[in-house]
Structure 1
Amino acid sequence: MSFIMRIARADDLQTLYEMAKLTGGGFTNLPPDRASLSAKLERTEQALARTSDGIEDELIVMVLENVETGQVRGTCQIFSTVGQNWPFYSYRLGMLTQHSRELGRTFRAQMLSLTTDLEGSVEVGGLFLHPRERAEGLGLLLARSRYLYIRNHRARFGDRVIAELRGVIDEAGGSPFWDGLAGRFFGMSFQEADEFNAVNGNQFIADLMPKTPIYTAMLTDSARAVIGLPHPNGRAAMRMLETEGFENAGYVDIFDGGPTMVGQVDQLKTIAAARDVILAATHDGGGQKMLIACGTLADYRCTWGLVEEDADGAVSLDADSAKRIGLGIGDSFTMAGRA
């Protein structure tokens, strides 16, 4: 293991751009647009420059770096709060039950209702791992490093956390959900809307979409079939979220119909299991593989390490992982077991 998670810097722009071109579309938090990515890095720099506590509308971009080669091979993001500067819309799946005495029948209709229920939530997103690095638990490192960052900067985040998963996109790059619903109200294809959304956000959809509930029975079969389903490439991410403590509460993205997972920050497994300890010694190997993190704001770093703890509670760490994130004897760090 030679990888660490760290905060993204301005000089990561080109690498982020190259990774964004590999996503295959519909990945709105990582658009293949230099200006948008540069703006994200600027927002991260501004967030890290703030030293006061309190929740503000901020973005933290993190990257996965191979410390031996210097290559960046993955990325993820944390939005401190959503819906502060403009409404954060979602559809919520619900059911309307009606009974006819004359017919002696009960009718149940599934509905999509536009809602801002999730405003104020922390959002974790933008997770992408280079296809050649999908081994060694690097996906878990990407995902869980965000939760330890939130824990170690707890005053900057609220109590609820969400994760939007990309919806189903067909082989031609189209979205059945878009074509069956939102696309009927706009003069653009999903690909065109996807590009516009990545740069400008999805507020234009919310502005023009009907605000009344929509009966799913009125949608096309192909649109109904993908409501609340993740893109095939996102199924593993959905399982990781469920293991962490997120739930599918019936919210779907108004753009592509993908599921929005919901959890409580302090109940996430990584956060609930994390402990702050002092490094008493280093060793050459052996011990339990755990997530370890240290540093705050721009100095935050996270990696996998091999941890040993004796009967007196003294904690030692393998020398390689301690070196990777700059830990010395007597330094404090956070550790959490594998979920």
Structure 2
Amino acid sequence: MSMLIMRPSRLDDFDDMMELAELSGPGFTSLPVDGGLIRKRLQASEKAFSGSPDAPQQGKFLLVMEDSDTGEVAGCCAVKAGIGMNRPFFNYRIITILQSSNVVDRRFSMDALVLTNEFMGYTEVGTLFLKKEFRGGPHRAGRLAAQSRYLLMAAAPDEFGEMVLAELRGVVNPNGISPFWEGVGRCFFDMDFQEADYQSGVTDGQFIMDLMPKYPIYVDLLPPEAREVIGRCHVEGIGAMKLLEWEGFRFERVVDIFDGGPQVSTQRKNIRTIRESRVVTFELGMPGERAKDALVSTDSLENFRTAWAKIDTRSDSVAVMDQAVFDALKIKPGHQGRIWTKE
């Protein structure tokens, strides 16, 4: 029986990752159509999963979704263990400025955008992309990809930060035009959104520090088209936003500097999948009538794998599942792993 499996990326996933990058479309900044960058990401992921990242707590883990029967790569997601350490992680924080004058009896408040670099050491989850045929329906692929990232954190908590952040793609039209960029970024960078997006991926980000305004930008002075999309996510990211909110992530008035998309965050210990998952021993058997749908994972960094499965939890510490699941996870009966059950 065919199953969808989340597994660590490999160097030979290059062609599949390039295809996903092409399919992701404009504005999906974490999956650029750039062979050199894709190859570097695959190399960095291999180091991270082998327990030897370039720096402690800065592993860049890339997971791919694979059909267990056909080997087709259906999507991907990623976890960056520690952001803002080697290069700045810029964003805009929306602040409210209160002003008043007793002389003319006037009081008002106004929102402003302030450039910050305040998320040093946070873990970032992102790069969640699925081929269209795997979205929705019986696959439950979106949940599998999203929750696999948190099961990975639960498997090796010392590798990740205490705080977790997620960026959502902002509003970008089919032609690759970002209303936020046109109203803000272009004024300071004098380049198209796509070029700025590309430069942010291939450079150390110094150009952002050089060209970005050092003073607050008053939101009311921006064009209406730019104001309207601040903190809004791309239509294709609405499902991802709902999943993040379900996990416990919250929007704290921080947005992306390029497309104005929302950034959400939470404490790692408060993430729902992590809180509700538990370690069990997997035993071989046929789940009965009382079997539950569950996410099952290997609970170790190396050879990490996650899949949906039917399991019988005959005690708090034992889960029974059939041979197909063992084969998909590449483990044997008696292996210790982690489960999250869908109540």
Q: Normalized against structure 2, the TM-score is what?
A: 0.94
CA RMSD of aligned residues (A): 1.8
Alignment of 1:207-286 (within 5 A): 207-283=210-286, 286=289
Aligned to 1:48: 49
Residue deviations 1:274-304, cap 9 Å, x none?
1111123321565110110005233110001
Contact 2:151 2:299 in 1 (8 A): no
Aligned to 1:322: 326
Alignment of 1:109-124 (within 5 A): 109-124=110-125
Tell me how far apart the structure 2 counterparts of residues 295 and 242 of structure 1 sit (CA, whole Å).
24
Residue deviations 1:145-186, cap 9 Å, x none?
010101111111110000000110124320011010111112
Alignment of 1:18-33 (within 5 A): 18-33=19-34
Aligned to 1:175: 178
Amino acid at match of 1:264: Q
Tell me how far apart the structure 1 counterparts of residues 313 and 70 of structure 2 sit (CA, whole Å).
31
Aligned to 1:303: 307
Tell me how far apart the structure 1 counterparts of residues 265 and 104 of structure 2 sit (CA, whole Å).
40
Structure 2 residue matching 1:240: 3-state secondary structure? helix
What's the offset of the Cα at 1:99?
1.4
Structure 2 residue 66 is matched with structure 1 residue 62: no
Tell me how far apart the structure 2 counterparts of residues 81 and 231 of structure 1 sit (CA, whole Å).
25
Structure 2 residue matching 1:310: 3-state secondary structure? strand
Contact 1:113 1:212 in 2 (8 A): yes
What's the offset of the Cα at 1:324?
1.1
What's the offset of the Cα at 1:218?
1.2
| Unmatched 5+ stretches in structure 2 | none
Q: 2:152 aligns with which of 135, 149, 152?
A: 149
Aligned to 2:190: 187
Contact 2:152 2:299 in 1 (8 A): no
Change (3 A) 1:297 1:309: closer
Structure 2 residue 207 is matched with structure 1 residue 204: yes
Contact 1:4 1:301 in 2 (8 A): yes
Tell me how far apart the structure 2 counterparts of residues 168 and 210 of structure 1 sit (CA, whole Å).
22
55-64 vs 236-245, greater mean Cα deviation? 55-64
Contact 2:8 2:64 in 1 (8 A): yes
Aligned to 2:17: 16
Tell me how far apart the structure 2 counterparts of residues 114 and 293 of structure 1 sit (CA, whole Å).
39
Contact 1:25 1:194 in 2 (8 A): no
Structure 2 residue 303 is matched with structure 1 residue 294: no
Amino acid at match of 1:330: G
Change (3 A) 1:295 1:247: closer
Amino acid at match of 1:206: M
Amino acid at match of 2:311: V
Regions of 4+ moved over 4 Å: none
Aligned to 1:34: 35
Aligned to 1:134: 135
Amino acid at match of 1:39: K
Amino acid at match of 1:254: I
Amino acid at match of 2:295: L
Tell me how far apart the structure 2 counterparts of residues 190 and 114 of structure 1 sit (CA, whole Å).
18
Residue deviations 1:254-274, cap 9 Å, x none?
111100010111110000011
120-129 vs 281-290, greater mean Cα deviation? 281-290
265-274 vs 307-316, greater mean Cα deviation? 307-316
307-316 vs 131-140, greater mean Cα deviation? 307-316
Structure 2 residue 109 is matched with structure 1 residue 108: yes
Contact 2:82 2:124 in 1 (8 A): yes
Structure 2 residue matching 1:297: 3-state secondary structure? coil
Tell me how far apart the structure 2 counterparts of residues 116 and 82 of structure 1 sit (CA, whole Å).
10
Tell me how far apart the structure 1 counterparts of residues 226 and 296 of structure 2 sit (CA, whole Å).
43
| Unmatched 5+ stretches in structure 1 | none
Change (3 A) 1:244 1:312: closer
Contact 1:165 1:231 in 2 (8 A): yes
Tell me how far apart the structure 2 counterparts of residues 214 and 338 of structure 1 sit (CA, whole Å).
45
Equivalent pairs counted in the alignment come to 338
Tell me how far apart the structure 1 counterparts of residues 6 and 116 of structure 2 sit (CA, whole Å).
35
